[in-house]
Structure 1
Amino acid sequence: MSERGPALTERGQVLEERGPGPVRVTLSINGTEHSMEIEPRVSLLDALREHLFLTGAKKGCDQGTCGACTVWVDGTRVLSCLTLAMTCEGREVTTIEGLAEDGELHDMQQAFITEDAFQCGYCTPGQIMSAVALLEEGHAGDDAEIKEWMSGNICRCAAYPHIRAAIRAVRDRA
């Protein structure tokens, strides 16, 4: 039952509630704690975009197939559209907004600019988050390996050669 009493149909019949109401969740996003009330079924992507107004992660397919919503949870890349926000409580979430430090772009962000690795830019935050993780995972030996490990991130503009060039540029500086 809600605080206003039971929900009624047009005929005055009491409706059963369909599940729990909002729950208080505290998420650590880019090193800052955020407390909010959300429905248990809210995705991490929707919590970021609609509750915290962090709009870098994009809602592309909302089915986990395009990678536009890629963020890190405890340093591991995840598809935020398929991750329940409440499962991230007590874990560190990093978004594209948290990648730059002290006003300086992350090396990968700068490489995407230098290598012209985006056109429309919609997929770029997810591409960058995956690209940084790819290097940290050690999966950037050659273009074939980069292509395979970036395959979960779709670029509808087909900027793939430039994306790989940006990844190679950062890899080769290390």
Structure 2
Amino acid sequence: MRADAARNREAVLAAADRLFEAATDPDRISMDDVAAAAGVGKGTLFRHFGDRSGLIRALYTARGEQLQATLTAGLPGDSPADRALHLLRELVRFKQANRVLTLALENAGDGSPYRTESYEHWHTTLTAVVSQARGPESADYLAHALLAAVRSDLVEHLRDWPDERWEAGLTALTRSVLATGP
């Protein structure tokens, strides 16, 4: 990538980051808004990101890289349930901290969070943990079910809940799913 193109890409991501951070409704941020905030032409956005969904995915990826690296390096905990619970807690915290952006991502395109790279990554990671606890037979499905408990639309719906209530529910669900062997 040329140096000016790389600078433009970074300027766009920084501008989009600021706009999504300040927004209460992700659908109100347009490509025109981002281009104006970044000081580039709208065509630059489309060349680098393809469309609005591509821009949102790139921004989400940039924000989530550290979380992904940290959690992929190794999940702490003595049992698979502890490791799964740690992963799910961190996903909730990330989604709470990045609520507008994660809602935009999960609502982008066809509206399915199941078709994103990050979902695939977390599903694969959690499937391995569930397999350790219960065997591989139902691990794929159970990983999907556990990840449904931390979907952005649910996190948003329950955003007024105190952390202790979230923690209690997530702990009860995770431990009940992973408590029994195959």
Structure (1 or 2) with the larger CA radius of gyration: 1
* Bigger share in helix: 2
TM-score (norm: length of structure 1)? 0.25
